[in-house]
A and B are shown apart, each in its own frame.
Chain A
Amino acid sequence: MTSFLKRLDGLLESAATAGLLDAQTRASLRSLAQEQEKGRGVLSLAAVLGWLGSAVAALGVILLVSANWSTIPDAVKLGGLLCLLAAAHGTALWIRFSGSDLHRTAEALHFLGAGLFLAGIGLVAQIYHLDDHPPNGVLLWLVAILPLAVLLRSPAISLLVIFAALLWGHMEGDHGGSPICMARYSFTSHLMLEIGMGAALVGFSPLLRDSEPRIARLMRGLGALLLFGSLYLLTFFRHFSELEQGGSAVLPVGFLVLGAAGLATGGRRLAPESIWFRNRLIVLLATALLVSAGALAVDLGVLPRGERMKFFNFGWDRTFDVAAWSFSILAWFLWFLFALWCVGFGGMSRRKGYLNTGVLAVGLGVVTLFFDLIGSLATTGTIFLLGGLVLLGTGWGMERWRRSIVRRMGEIA
């Protein structure tokens, strides 16, 4: 029983004793609260522990498979894995069929089963020394678990599906025998997969808001995480940008198009609390996709790189192309605009999660920019001294800013 339900029980008991509630109303309220608790956020403690436990167990099986014990006959290894797979899903389905309230346990067991399928692919490939096209193994895993995510309405398996899709993209793009293999060491192309997937998840998530709210929340959160992470990396574009030759652009372009499709399909249903914030979010997401596409075009040689510029940075002379510089700066602008959007939207909708994310992003941006750009003003020692002061000042300023917004949110409420 959760602490909320315990507190509610105490309150209902007091209300019943005081004669404010009859027994039927008390039972109805208790039942309603219990039902709402079941649908509470994807990341409840029980769910997270269940996922972690299942992930660790599945990894354990995968490691045992990798140990490749020659003393155990192949048929026994395969039979054992099939029994585990059947037991994990079977027990979970039995829990659901029986109408038990052990939803989190059932979900964790399905999560384990989905992980065991990947272990099974590895096991068969190991026993028969198969190495035809390793990314196909991940694609097979994706195809196998996708229907389960839909049928079981499971955020946990949905998480694995998204992970499998990204993993497949990276593996296929890096596999020499693939017709859509990207150029060797093509960091920019790989980064486009994260940006495209992030935008797609955020864009498509509103379409599931009513029918599958838990999966929609997961998609939105994961999409935001991917977007912030990849945009942060894109701010260093001038450091890793290089001409990619001899590779295919199908995967990075495909993922960016997927992101655009998500935005076009679900953009109008984003941030339903405010049209003003929604429109700005759509513009920001579209700009992020365009800037990413531009950076990709520079590395693929479609856009000219421009002249080389010298820059003194932490004691070294560095040279960067104008194009690489430009896209780094654009990425920084986007980073701060996204952060400010989060702060504004969090303040408007009274959601502390958005507010904290935005404030944290602004602080991280200021500190990173300091080390990334201001290196030419002094020797490394002075820079670190100033850096420490900037860190202290930023932390203090950000916290004051956050608290003032939270206070105002409280006043409005």
Chain B
Amino acid sequence: MNPISRRRLGLAAAWVCLQLLFFAGWALREAGRFDEGVGRSILVRTVPVDPRDLLRGQYLELAYEWTRSDLTSTLDIGGQGSEVWVVLGPEGEFFVPLRADVTRPVLANRAEVAMRGRVGRWQRLEFGIEKYFVPEGTETPPAKELTVRLRVDSEGVPRIETVYRNGVAWP
């Protein structure tokens, strides 16, 4: 077996350092999405079920009012993986879906929020906020008791900020 040169070992060490920096940077970037004043924080209704992910454990699979709505019925939204935008507007304390578009929409007023997602299987709209990871063994609450606060950044990327059960942060 030929020995590994010190130059190769040095490069490998540098690559491992890059891996560590990557994780630190990624975590900081994700944490930064929830900083004060970053993006819009909106409350929405949801419908949960409770499967498991082999890598990340137990989660609630969340569906939203726009996941299977008629918003896109008049749109040519393209095939799986195509980009799609949904505009949400306030209705009482909740934000509800108003319309969808295949390009970034112009908002009618400052109260509206636009989110960017993709077309999934069976024309479901997916925004990367369909899973909420919970500690192992957490009981699945009734759907009607849950609401979700989302944080949507200026690029339209949403993240789950908090899940509420009967108005109290959960779990």
Which residues does A use to contact B, with CB under 8 Å?
Answer: 35, 38-39, 62, 65-70, 78, 81-82, 85-86, 89-90, 93, 96-97, 103, 113, 117-133, 137, 144, 147-148, 151-153, 176-181, 184, 214
Which residues does B use to contact A, with CB under 8 Å?
Answer: 1-2, 4, 6, 8-9, 11-13, 15-16, 19-20, 22-24, 26-27, 30-31, 33, 53-58, 79-82, 118-122, 124, 126, 128-136, 159-160, 171
Known contacts A93-B9, A93-B13, A133-B128; is-contact A152 B133 (Cβ 8 Å): no
Known contacts A129-B132, A151-B15, A181-B121; is-contact A176 B23 (Cβ 8 Å): no
User: Of all chain A residues, which has the CB nearest B81?
Assistant: A179
B122 vs chain A, min Cβ distance (A):
7
Contact of B55 among A62, A78, A129 (CB under 8 A): A62
User: Of all chain B residues, which has the CB nearest A178?
Assistant: B81
* Chain B facing A: main interface SS: mixed
B169 vs chain A, min Cβ distance (A):
12
Is B12 in contact with A127, judged by CB distance below 8 angstroms?
Answer: no
Contact of B23 among A62, A68, A78, A214 (CB under 8 A): A78
Contact of B120 among A89, A123, A153, A177 (CB under 8 A): A177
Known contacts A85-B19, A177-B80, A181-B80; is-contact A78 B136 (Cβ 8 Å): no
Chain B residues whose CB sits within 8 angstroms of the CB of A132 once the complex forms: 128
Q: Known contacts A68-B58, A117-B19, A132-B128; can you find 15 more A-B pairs with CB under 8 A?
A: A66-B53, A66-B54, A82-B23, A85-B19, A85-B23, A113-B16, A120-B23, A124-B27, A126-B56, A129-B131, A130-B159, A153-B2, A176-B80, A177-B119, A184-B121
Chain B residues whose CB sits within 8 angstroms of the CB of A96 once the complex forms: 4, 9
B136 vs chain A, min Cβ distance (A):
5
Is A126 in contact with B133, judged by CB distance below 8 angstroms?
Answer: yes
Expressed in whole angstroms, the Cα–Cα distance for A80 and B103 within the complex equals 42
A-B contact count (CB 8 A): 141
Chain A residues whose CB sits within 8 angstroms of the CB of B2 once the complex forms: 153
B99 vs chain A, min Cβ distance (A):
21
Is A176 in contact with B135, judged by CB distance below 8 angstroms?
Answer: no
Would you give 6 A-B contacts (Cβ < 8 Å), ordered by A?
A113-B16, A126-B57, A152-B12, A176-B126, A177-B120, A181-B80
Chain A residues whose CB sits within 8 angstroms of the CB of B55 once the complex forms: 62, 65-66, 118-119, 121-122, 125, 137
Is B30 in contact with A144, judged by CB distance below 8 angstroms?
Answer: no
Contact of A147 among B15, B119, B159 (CB under 8 A): B15
